[in-house]
Structure 1
Amino acid sequence: MSYNCAMSFNKLLERQIKKYLPEDYYLQENLARFIQAVHDSYEEYERDRKLFNHAFACSENEYIQINEKLKKEAKLKHASIKQLKETINKFKGNNNLSYNDSDDLSDVINYLEHELQEKKKADDLLQQSEKRLRLALSTIDDNVWEYHFPTQTMTFAVNEKSILDLDQTVFEGKENLVWWHSILEEDRHIAIETFRRYMNGEITKHCVEYRVKLKDGKTRWILNRGGVISISKSGKPITIIGTLTDIQNYKDIQGELTATANRLTHLLKNLQTGVLLEDENGHVVLTNKKFTEFFGYPGSPETLVGIECTDLYESSTPLFKYPDEFRTTTENHLKNRTPVNTEELKMADGRVLERNYIPLFIDDIYRGHLWTYNDITERKRSEVKLKKQEEKYRSIIANMNLGLIEVDLEENIRYVNQSFCLMSGYEEHELIGQNASTLFVKDEYKDLIEEKNSSRQKGLSDAYEMNVKTKSSDTNWWLVCGAPLYNDKQQHIGSIGIHLDITEQKILQRQLVEAKLIAEKSVHAKDLFLANMSHEIRTPMNAILGMSRQLQKTTLNQQQQSFLEIIGTAAENLLVIINDILDFSKLEAGRVTLEEIGFNMHDLVTNSSRVLKMKAEEKGLQFDVSVAPDVCKVLKGDPFRINQVLMNLLSNSIKFTKRGQVTLQCLLNKDLPGWQKLEIIISDTGKGMDEGYLKNLFNKFSQEDDSIARSYGGTGLGMSIVKQLVELMNGSITVKSKKGEGTQVNIQLSFETGQESDLPKKDNSHVEAHILADKKILLVEDNEMNRVVAETILKQYGATMTEAVNGVEAVDAIRARQYDIVLMDIQMPVMDGLEATRVIRKEIQSNIPIIALTANAVKGEMEKCIQAGMNDYLSKPFDEEDLIRLIAKWLGRETHFGPAKTTAATDTPLYDLAKLKQITRGDEKFIVKMLQVFITETMTGTANLERAFEEKDIKQVKFLAHRMKSSLNNLNIFSAAGIAEKIEKAQWEEQQYPTLAGQILAFKKVIDEVIPLIKTDYPELQY
């Protein structure tokens, strides 16, 4: 082999060794020496060759010098070859080579090259395995790390599920690795100590826990496990690999389990049951104070922990009445290791303990046992006492009318008393040994009896009713009180039952159920009637409220007079309906009594249509009514019910008609002597109905679909009420309708004809001037003008008046003096009328009549007054006649009024004193006084109203508007009164404050106009 080839081979061999054997330092070192020796040998050879060639060209001296030099070089070469042999022999020993001095060096080199190739193939497989291993590790939840001791580098293989905010960066360092910075300082010593032990060769694997702090600041517990995967020849670790596992949830659960265990330990220690817990080796693990008390052990329970339990048993044996028996049974329990429950142990001092033995197995491995002790001395004494009492009461029951029976677990009769024999019809010898279920229980009660037997086995007692068979009948009913039956050892041996014959009671109960059904039908009829009437009250109420609002906006001219007539008609209709609701006798009869009075059909139809005409015009509908001229001027019947029918039908037509017209025609169908048969036709161009729905039109609570109620309201009672009323008047009603084309209703009614004298006569008599003489009336009103009005009216009838401005003064006045009646306002400062009434009824316990006077004449106000304890209700502004009639009613005095006097309409657009003059009976001095009070209060109230709005005190704004409303109505200043009512009734939100400001400005404008006008008309007013 040439020198150059040898050198090339050496370099190639060196590269191959470094490439394929990077980790085996021992082999690298030996081979490196071998290569160096080869290298040195060929260098020496080359030098020798050059020297030899040079020798032929040199002198003899030079030759001698060269020869000496060659000897030295040969000697060095010999040493190098010897060293090479030793290296090869070492390598040979590691690889089972057979080499001697005669072997050719090139063969060895060829062999080494072959070994290197094989090593390369093995390393390729190793690298592939390593790649697969790292791929597998990257898919698991744990974080894999690797530490290389020679380079002191640590690498993390962080996967997507990693709990660490790390990447695959290698952290370099010596003693203070960057990784350790994430470990909490107080736990860092654990990691340091682990690596120290690795470097000292003390451990080859580890498993430790410590806390780390992540980038987000959170702290979590991790489990660090790992081990050495490569070591040097000297035994030092080269590489360790490990995993980091998130065990925070485990730590949380472990903490909860520890807390639970502590709670359980605390519970066991404080139980009133003696507890002794032993481990598998017979040592005390836990006991409690009750255990030490039972057996008289000195010291605390903790002093017993860890001692041999056999010592406890031996020291406790003398305490038992039968020591040998206690010792033997205890040993058997420990030997058998089977649970034992409710074992009784009699003590030498007379006590009786109940013991339970519970062996503890975990994964089928015995881990100890638990003893529990209970003192049942009192219970045993009670059982003995109970047994004696049982004999006593058994004899008592035997002489009572209660059947006693005892059966075993198979329901075979063991004992019966005489009463049971009488109930069942059997003799005692006929019952003993028989099966009670077979003898008495019917098939439909078999399941019930099985259920009761199961409950007896669970120790439950109960009572139940059952229809049974007796010797003579199968219609008897028994009330059975059953309970489990135990023997002296508290073993369940059967059941005991006490029986009561309740056949007569069941008959009465059946009759009661039938009576209840009848009563429920009656109640249903009442509820239905009330629902019908409640529905019908709504129509005239709408008319009253609607026309009242119209009236408040206008002066008392011809239009106002028309509105008043409409209100009067609606009020009469409403009064009739209310009277029917409150007339209990009519409800009991299941019908409404019809009036038989004279009426004018033309006037009736006109008045009914006037109430609804405005509603039709608001929807843009053409509304026409007509009465045939040949209809008699006076007919006899019930005009209120006719009006109710017409109002209902017309309301429906207007409600369900969006465009077109609604018409009412009253035609003469037949004209007979003394009778007329009329046909009333109401038609519209509304939405109409399907033919299928027409069949159910008159059913109660019937509507064509759910959208009707959502879109139009109503309960579906209207047409049912109409049909009942028409049929009650011996008439008939039919309906024709087509979807989308409108509806036509035809009513046939027959009436007796009458004369003018048959029309109702109005009572023109007048009330007695002193009907309220010697009566003391307490007026509770915070508005001064209202107090003046009421006082003026009542004094004219002889009443003595006392005034109070709030509920507190009213309560104090009633405590101090006697009154005949109280007129109570509702809204007042300090204490309102409702609260004052409650105090008068509950605290003072006075039954004095109380009449509510309030401007809130809306639905629900009267119910509030009655619930508070008031007797009646009158809305303001009130008429003189209504007030006197109501007071006289509750004082037991009758009144008679004629037609109310009216005052001619004035042309004054702002105010009118007609009502005030009527109240004061033309007393000019008093009128001036009233006007003076009105001006003072109204100016003050208006200023306060503006101030309250500026302060955004909306509650005060509404209260002031309420106070001034009554005074404005009394002077017929309807424009301002209407504004005041709007201010009072509206729910003002912040975004509506500009609108409220406009209302207050309009109110002030009217007041600023009317007060100067009053001052001009009455110059005698003082300012």
Structure 2
Amino acid sequence: MTGENGEKRAEFSVLIEESAEDLYENAPCGYLSTLPNGTIVKVNKTLLRWLGYEAEELLHRKKFQDLLPVGGKLYYETHYGPLLQMQGSVSEINFDLKEKQGQRLPVLVNTIQIVGDDGKPLLNRTTVFNITDRKKYEQELLRARKEAEEAAKVKAEFLSTVSHEIRTPLNAIVSIANLLQATDHSKEHKEYFRALKLSADSLFHLINDILDYSKIEAGRVELIERPMSLRELVYSLVYSVSITAEEKGLAMKVELDERLPEQVLGDPVKVGQILTNLLGNAIKFTEEGYVALKLQVQDLTNEEASIHFQVEDTGIGIPPDKLEKVFEEFTQASYDVNLKYGGTGLGLTISQKLLSLYGSKLSVESEEERGTTFFFNLRLKLAPEQNATPDELTNESEDFIRGVKLLLVEDNPVNVLVVSRYLQRWGVEYDVAKDGIEAVEHVMRHDYNLVLMDLQMPHMDGYEATSKIRGLREEKYRQLPIIALSASARYDFKEQMEAAGIDDFISKPFNPMELRAKITFHSLNAAQDALEPAGTEESPGFESSWHLEPPTEPDAPAFTLTTLEEMLEGDEKDLEELVRMTIRNFEIAKLELQNALVSQDLKSYRSSNHRIRMTVELLHAGRLLSTIERGRSLLESNVAAMEEKEEASVAMGEEFNSVISGLKDTLINRWGSVEATNGL
């Protein structure tokens, strides 16, 4: 009897073992065991079936890392492995596994580390969950959400079409009127009144020239000829539309011919209306890339100038058979365009009719999905000389700005060098703080006329530093002008900026004219009536903004030092030091950006991008900038495959290496600084 019971127990034990083994092999999830170095020593049939391998192809032949693509391997070495060693287990880690045939299998893994009596790791047991269906479901949800948002956007644009152009200046009038009522007579009063008058004028002309379309159609609109500065007009227009562009993540570029006359005779309202229509359309129909406004002098005499105006974008483009129809009233390129983007279809018609008053014509060139360029020519008389010449105004501007005491808060040494060169040239006295903590300490110890505040810094960022300055006891700290100097877009932090108490904003890379104008305006507001800073700067070679166009030729130079050479005015010592710092910064940034990309850390990616963005653009490193932007787009998309991110990481690394190598060659060939490249 005992023997019979023993046989049954043995048989039952075998059945249990077979059942457990069957459960392990054919479980709905994958199982594998690896040695501490990743060598696979056991794997179940489920995981083999998913990956398309036979057991003998994996066991003791491959490591778990071998099943991972490049980005996964990097994450395994830098995060997964150290975390497993530190806490003995990891949960819910997202990987892509490489199947035998080359496809990617999205999985979630959970790993437990088995240790011996001596505490040393013996084995890693990993459970693998196939999340292919979940990924597809997430993508469908994202797609459905995007479609719903687009539908809501179409309805909102349709409802606001008629009233939008009127409500914009009207809101400004109402808001500023309220400010005037709540403000005692002070130095701000005059600026509020000026802004109120400009908004009122804008509303008046919009009502008379756009809504009263019949007046234009009947030819009763007349041109007014008076002196105007095209530079001032251009920058004021670009500034007025820049917020909308920034909200869409678009770069705004301005390129002005150095020969552009200081003053011409023309109708600034009509010319401004034409350019506003073109810029507004360009921004509306462009989802990514840039919008550029370019003025080129074609012919210049002592009496008049022939000027070519061009508005260029990288938007949706116009089909060839629709190019002429866009100038017809109440007409757009297609019904779908009207449905998606809205609009009355009058903007180009009005612009064309206004140009006809000048004897000119609006022309267009376009390619679908590549962008559109509108252009026209104006022949304008030169304005007679005013009481003060441009040279005298420039000298006067320098007299006002000279002696201003300023605090520059910036953690990037390259950016400090760039900004300080201009401050030195203008005679501005300045101190430097490398983070928000130092900024607050400097402000408490010294009396400054103005603070230039970077927003993204270690230890304490620009928002917190500004808030602490505003919270200091004395009233002077609440009146101290603080300008944000940042490579981020304004829409990223508009509410934070207002909440912190920041007065104004300048984007990096900055336009020298804008920087000097705002320093002058904010630090010497009482002298504003005697000075028009935005139109008095003479800065040959710096008329263009430094935002980059996508490279047009694959074999174009990886970078150029031209802008830096002009900016540093031939100072070889400063240029050499700037190149050295750039090499060091790029070596660090390359690793930070690649790691952030493959680990899908958007916050870190944006932070690293912010620190080097100005330098990249000053170097005109178009291909490098393009690869960085590609990585950012992939991280923001939420649906991009890991394979795409890995490829983008490799491409970005190659471009970084190309620029770094070129800069090192420059150090050696130009300055003989062989030792400068050691250890970089």
What TM-score do the two structures reach when normalised by structure 1?
0.31
Say which structure, 1 or 2, has more relative contact order (CA 8 Å, 6+ apart): 2
What TM-score do the two structures reach when normalised by structure 2?
0.44
The higher radius of gyration belongs to 1
